[in-house]
């Protein structure tokens, strides 16, 4: 108990001292001169420490607005209009507004009510009072009588209050009252706290005057929960991509960049994919309607075309007539490997050298928990002498364990037109089983020779969306681009 008492704030102590008998939050506020928001805060803290018990009662309160208060004091517009008409025996709207002392909106509201009730009539632009209107002057206005009874608890919203609210005369609000009483633990604290005086805050004055020597300093509970601050943060998936990029740069990789709208040449041909390959079909690639085609360097176009038709000196190629028209067709980039092809043709390519890209790719696909029509690939190549599959396995292990955070991964043989040997990297996804991250291998000489590269090139293209899913335990790829605020705040 001493620890609890010594940790009470000034507000908590003040509220606790006021609770000799059960009180409402508003009664506590009056007795302690604390603001109601301070009292509510103190009650919440005391309740979390089991020193008070709280019951809430809710009621709807109707109160007069400033307009309503003005009408209660000076009269409703409809009553003022009737008062003018009974004296004038007819007047137009300008005369009525002037003599009644009301504005245009009040005139319209009042006339609408009176006309609906049959208390006035119109005669060639002149407004006249009816017998029903004259009798109304002798009666009490039902709306005015309702207004005089406010503020009060509204147990049932009737027609009169609805109309007064519509006219901006009355406002309705939900009022919650907290009924606070001490618990047995609170009674014990109440008896002990009366003569305890503590320093609630350490200020320069407290230190200079040595007040801390003569009084107790409030004990702070470092385990107490504090309100969460929902400050602006980078979207968690975008933050992950930045983190991945920084990590690869620190490992000595240089970033490759290229267009999203690509030609078939760089997207497929330069990677030794035959022009009749199934992956070239509209079910795997988006073709651009306009502009339909683009430019390709002529020297590379001929060298790659010859490789497709004839292959290496000791090979056969794909044995078909290569189409330059097809090579120049525009597509949406379907694989980040197109950037690697561009890099091999770049005169600034360094040997040895390490390159990467995080590329947005597009493929027609059926959307499910692991597929989208747009996705990111982390693409990379290493160009150097004496490279082999052991080096590639080391890179794949790094992505699986250090970047994806997988505890289990495996590498299986696979086939790609541009690598030989080729392997596929898969990681074990809890609740989903084994999930493929992407492919890799050593570029075939048919890919590297047209660009004058005579050393081995190891390459990989992995689904970075799935890597993020693996690392963060997300079971649906669509969550990455969700606007779910709870997830965004939790993951950021």
CATH number of the domain encompassing residue 181: 1.10.10.10
**Residue 108 sits in the same domain as residue 245:** no
CATH of the domain at 367: 3.30.930.10
**Residue 368 sits in the same domain as residue 451:** yes
pLDDT score recorded for residue 151? 61
CA dihedral 188, 193, 195, 201 (to 10 degrees): 170
pLDDT score recorded for residue 197? 64
What's 173's DSSP letter? E
Helix (H) or strand (E) holding 440: strand 433-443
**Would you say residue 222 lies in a domain?**
no
What's 140's DSSP letter? P
Rg, C-alpha atoms of the chain: 40
pLDDT score recorded for residue 260? 95
Number of domains present in the structure of the chain: 3
Q: 0.75 cut: is pTM over it?
A: no
CA-to-CA dists, residue 90 to 73, 357, 435, angstroms: 26, 85, 87
**Residue 113 sits in the same domain as residue 29:** no
Nearest to 181 by CA among 314, 373, 325, 15: 15
Burial of 406 (0-12, 13-18, 19+ CB in 10 A): buried
**Residue 83 sits in the same domain as residue 54:** no
Range of the domain at 451: 239-260+333-491
pLDDT score recorded for residue 69? 86
Number of H helices, E strands in the chain: 22, 17
**Residue 465 sits in the same domain as residue 356:** yes
**Would you say residue 165 lies in a domain?**
no
Please list the pLDDT of the chain residue by residue as tens digits (492 residues).
777 777 787 888 888 888 988 999 999 999 999 999 999 988 988 888 889 999 998 887 888 888 888 888 888 888 888 888 878 778 887 888 888 888 888 888 888 888 888 888 888 888 888 888 888 777 777 777 777 776 665 666 677 778 788 888 888 888 888 999 999 888 888 887 765 566 777 788 878 887 777 777 777 777 767 777 778 888 889 999 999 999 999 999 999 999 999 999 999 999 999 998 777 776 689 999 999 999 999 999 999 999 999 998 877 888 889 999 999 999 999 999 999 999 999 999 999 999 999 999 999 888 887 778 888 999 999 999 999 999 999 999 998 888 888 889 999 999 998 999 999 999 988 777 888 889 999 999 999 999 999 999 999 999 888 888 888 888 888 888 888 888 887 776
pLDDT score recorded for residue 250? 93
What's 209's DSSP letter? T
pLDDT score recorded for residue 460? 94
**Would you say residue 408 lies in a domain?**
yes
pLDDT score recorded for residue 74? 84
44-48 long-range contacts, CB within 8 A, separation 24+: 45/9, 45/11, 45/12, 46/12, 46/15, 46/16, 46/186
**Residue 127 sits in the same domain as residue 243:** no
Beta-bridge partners for 434 = 428
pLDDT score recorded for residue 469? 84
CA-to-CA distance for 153 and 175, rounded, in angstroms? Answer: 9
CA-to-CA distance for 335 and 277, rounded, in angstroms? Answer: 15
pLDDT score recorded for residue 224? 67
408 touches 470 (CB < 8 A): no
**Residue 55 sits in the same domain as residue 81:** no
pLDDT score recorded for residue 418? 93
pLDDT score recorded for residue 156? 63
CA-to-CA distance for 255 and 119, rounded, in angstroms? Answer: 83
pLDDT score recorded for residue 196? 55
CA-to-CA distance for 446 and 341, rounded, in angstroms? Answer: 12
**Would you say residue 151 lies in a domain?**
no
């Amino acid at each position: 108990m001493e620890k609890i008492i010594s940790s009470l704030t000034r507000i908590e102590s003040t509220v606790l001292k006021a609770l000799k008998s059960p009180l409402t939050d508003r009664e506590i506020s009056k007795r302690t001169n604390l603001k109601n928001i301070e009292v509510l805060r103190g009650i919440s803290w005391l309740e979390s420490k089991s020193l008070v018990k709280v019951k809430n009662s809710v009621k709807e309160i109707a109160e007069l607005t400033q307009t309503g208060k003005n009408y209660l004091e000076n009269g409703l517009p409809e009553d003022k209009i009737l008062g003018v008409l009974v004296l004038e025996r007819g007047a137009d709207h300008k005369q009525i507004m002037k003599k009644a002392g009301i504005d245009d909106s009040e005139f319209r509201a009042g006339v609408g009510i009176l006309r609906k009730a049959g208390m006035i009539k119109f005669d060639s632009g002149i407004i006249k009072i009816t017998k029903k209107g004259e009798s109304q002057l002798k009666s009490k206005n039902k709306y005015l009588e309702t207004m005089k009874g406010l503020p009060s608890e509204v147990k049932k919203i009737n027609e009169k209050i609805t109309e007064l609210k519509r006219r901006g005369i009355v406002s309705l609000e939900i009022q919650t009252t907290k009924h606070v009483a001490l618990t047995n633990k609170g009674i014990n604290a109440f008896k002990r706290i009366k003569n305890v005086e503590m320093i609630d805050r350490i200020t320069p004055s407290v230190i200079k005057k040595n007040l801390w020597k003569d009084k107790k300093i409030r004990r702070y509970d470092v385990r107490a929960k504090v309100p969460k601050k929902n400050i602006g943060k980078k979207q968690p998936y975008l933050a992950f991509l930045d983190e991945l990029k920084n990590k690869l740069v620190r490992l000595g990789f240089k970033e490759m960049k290229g267009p999203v709208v690509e030609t078939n040449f760089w997207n497929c041909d330069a990677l030794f994919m035959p022009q009749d390959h199934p992956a070239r079909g509209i079910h795997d690639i988006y073709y651009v309607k306009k502009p339909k085609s683009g430019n390709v360097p002529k020297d590379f176009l001929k060298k790659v075309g010859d490789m497709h038709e004839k292959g290496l000196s000791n090979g056969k190629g794909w044995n078909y007539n290569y189409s330059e028209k097809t090579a120049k067709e525009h597509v949406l980039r379907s694989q980040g490997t197109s950037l690697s092809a561009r890099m091999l043709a770049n005169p600034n390519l360094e040997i040895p050298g390490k390159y990467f890209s995080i590329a947005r790719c597009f493929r027609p696909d059926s959307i499910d928990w692991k597929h989208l029509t747009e996705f990111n690939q982390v693409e990379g190549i290493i160009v150097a002498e004496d490279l082999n599959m052991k080096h590639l396995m080391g890179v794949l292990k790094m992505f699986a364990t250090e970047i994806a955070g997988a505890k289990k991964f495996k590498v299986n043989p696979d086939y790609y037109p541009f690598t030989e040997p080729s392997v596929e990297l898969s990681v074990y996804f809890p609740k989903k089983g084994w999930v493929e991250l992407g492919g890799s291998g050593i570029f075939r000489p048919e890919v590297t020779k047209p660009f004058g590269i005579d050393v081995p090139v190891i390459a990989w293209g992995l689904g970075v969306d799935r890597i993020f899913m693996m690392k963060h335990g997300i079971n649906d790829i669509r969550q990455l681009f969700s606007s779910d605020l709870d997830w965004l705040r939790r993951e950021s």
